[in-house]
Each structure stands twice: as structure tokens, then as C-alpha cells.
Amino acid sequence: MTRVAIIGGGIGGLTAANALTRAGIEVAVYEAAGELKEIGAGVALHPNAMRVLRSIGVEDAVRGIAGRSQWQWTRARTGRVIARSTPAQQAASFGLTGATVHRADLLDVLAAALPDGIVTLGKRCTEVLPGGDADPPVARFADGSEATADVIIGADGIHSAVRTALFGPDAPRFTGKICYRSVIPAAAVAGKQVNTDGAQWFGPHGTIVVYPLRGTDLLNVVCHYDDDGYRHESWVTECEGAEVLERYADWHEELLRLFAAGDTWYKWALYDRDPIPEWTRGRVTLLGDAAHPMLPYLGQGACQALEDGAVLATAMAAGAADPSAGLARYEAARRPRASRVVLAARERGLSNHQSSRWAAWRRDVAIAVRRRVNRRDPEGRGTSWLADYDATSPDVLAG
């Protein structure tokens, strides 16, 4: 039986572990932290991600802890609604609906679905040796221990030690954009009841995404803005809520009421990375943010990691007698699509942050026209190819 070691116990790593286990492949997961945990934030799971969760048997559990919402696209200063998309429209277009969940809740579901003993905590990877035809790959950890397997998967995030060991440090490019985030109890918002639908607010030099978690109990808030003066990339640096209120002072009052209810805010700078030309060395490859870190403007970071996990399992099962061939199939199937998503997210960030009234008007009209002429594009942004993709299809390795 093929043995796979996964470095990283986040959403991508645990999804891959579930998919590989269901394919009859022996899996071990090594996580650097002392417990399985995620940052306190939400994640949007589009139909392409939900197909993967269905295939590994956890869709119902995820929907049980998901937000309840439909979506709308809104001008941030006036509150004018540009377009709306209902769950029924999404189901009619793609065969199933997406979901919005707390990252920690999703991680709990994925971990609970795994057999006992698969995950080992407190294992921070410092180096990998890719191995070759005769020698297995080796992962080395900070505590001096090692792990060998037929295949090693680097699912250790945007600052991946595995990617660095294989290809050297990356070269992030500062985008001139920053991000604020908070998770806010809906009941804490003062005044009239706040809208708990998912919403994207377009404003000059920025965009804000709000969507519900745990039914409608919590609201995940992610605020982007053009600012080239702050360059710290960490997701866990706190800032004062007053800074957020000041930054968006002339945006819609509903947003300001929501922001005022946020107890804890985080701030980070957005860095971009070009798609890398290869993911695999020897019998070591990459998955999720370790392979294709991307800007958040398409809400596809976690979705692409889930796709990776499903396709990896299919590729490894198809090439069970030759792990190297399995990795080659995986990369050939995934790298072109993931690279396309990276570049599309980059372009979406430019579109969302239009500062020209004329450019913003053209964007809004294009959304309305696309939705009218193409019923399979409920967002009106020309990206139905994202939700259409089925990473669980038997034909996924065909290209």
C-alpha cells in the first residue's frame, strides 16, 4: 500500500487526508501546532468545494454548521443593490449551493471524519529530502525526528517550509492593498437588525465582504482597501476598531454600525505571488497555499485546496504502483487551473477597487448584463468556470 505523509493539518491537509484514506491509501498527517486549530475567521465554500466535501462524506455536517444566506452586490456609499443571487439560482446553475463556515468549525468536521491516529501534533517540518527512484522522501522536524513515506505532500500554508526546501524562498510582491477582518455577533450590532445575507460592497479604493456563520449568529467581515503604507503580512496582528471606522467613515451607515460592534480586529497587508512553474521534486509535491497562494478576491483559496486534495487522491489511486507517476498526473491536472485562478484573483482585485466613477459604472453594468444573458453566471462576473469544476469526477485527470 502506498504511504503518504502530509505536512500540515489545516483545511487542505485534512481534506487530502480524508480523500486519500477513502481511496485506500495509508496516510499520516504532521501538524506543527500543539492542537488542530484555525484562525477566527470565515471561509466561503463555493459549489466546486462543496462537491469535494460531498465526496468525502462531510457535506451534511458542514451544512449543519454553515451560514444561512443569499448574496447581494452593493455600492458601498449609497447602499444601492447592483445584483442579487439566491440559493435556488445557484443550485439551478451548478447543481448544488455553496456555504459559508467558520474555519475552526470546518477543521473540526474534517478532523472528526478521519480515523484515529492519523494526525501527529507538535511536528514542525524544517526540511524535506525529495528522494528518488530508489530512495524514499524524508521529512525532518524541529524536534530531531524524521518521517519517511512513499510520497510527501507539503500542505503547510503560504510560508511553506516544504516549498522553500524544494524551490527556495518565494518572492512576494506587495499589492498596495491591506485587509481588516473581524467576526462579529449579529446580536451585538446596535440599532435596527443588521442584514445577515452575504454581501459584497463596492467602494472607491476598496471592497468589503460580509457573510453569516453558524446560521446567522455571527457575521464574518473582511474589508479591503488601497494603502501602500502598511506592509506587515501576518493574519494575526490586531488593530484598533477605531482605525476601521475612520478608514470607512463615508461608507454606508449599516457597515459602520456593524464595524462598531467588533471587539477584535486584525489587519494585514496583501502580497501577491506569481504561479510557480512546478510543484513537484522527486516524490514530494505541494498542495493548497503552499502550491498556489492567491489573493482573496475570488474566495477560492480554501476551495482550490479542497480541489487539490480530491484530485491528488484520484491521481495516487490511479498510479498506485508508481507514486511518481501519480504525482505527475496530479500536477498536470491541477497546476494549470490553480495558476489560472491565481491570475484571475489578481484581476478581480483591480476590478473591485475601481476609484473612477466611470470605471465602476461600467463594471456594474457588465455585472447586470452578464446575469441577464447568462443564467449560469449568477454573480455576473464571468467566473462560472470556477463553480462548474468537478474535482471528484473520474475524468478529472484527462485535463
Percent of the chain scoring above 90 in pLDDT: 79
Mean pLDDT taken over the chain: 93
How much is the pLDDT for 399? Answer: 64
pLDDT digits (tens, 9 = 90+) for 91-116: 988 999 999 999 999 999 999 999 99
Give the mean pLDDT of 366-373.
Answer: 85
Query: Strand pairing of 81-85 and 71-75?
Result: antiparallel
Give the mean pLDDT of 108-134.
Answer: 94
Indicate if 211 belongs to the active site: yes
How much is the pLDDT for 14? Answer: 98
Q: Is the pLDDT of residue 10 over 90?
A: yes
- Which domains occur in the chain, in start order? 3-170+274-394 (3.50.50.60)
How much is the pLDDT for 132? Answer: 78
Which pTM was predicted?
0.96
How far separated are the first and last CA of the chain, in Å rounded? 27
In the structure, what pLDDT confidence band is assigned to residue 240 with cuts at 50, 70 and 90?
Answer: very high
Give the mean pLDDT of 221-249.
Answer: 94
Distance (Å, whole) CA 96 – CA 392: 14
Give the mean pLDDT of 352-379.
Answer: 87
How much is the pLDDT for 238? Answer: 95
In the structure, what pLDDT confidence band is assigned to residue 1 with cuts at 50, 70 and 90?
Answer: confident
Catalytic pick among 211, 225, 248, 266:
211
Which candidate, 396, 388, 395, places its Cα nearest to that of 98? 388
How much is the pLDDT for 161? Answer: 96
Q: Which residue has the higher pLDDT, 153 or 367?
A: 153
Q: Is the pLDDT of residue 374 over 90?
A: no
Give the mean pLDDT of 27-56.
Answer: 93
Query: Strand pairing of 284-286 and 151-154?
Result: parallel
How much is the pLDDT for 2? Answer: 87
Q: Is the pLDDT of residue 89 over 90?
A: no
Which candidate, 191, 188, 190, 208, places its Cα nearest to that of 199? 208
Which candidate, 282, 338, 283, places its Cα nearest to that of 310? 338
Q: Is the pLDDT of residue 152 over 90?
A: yes
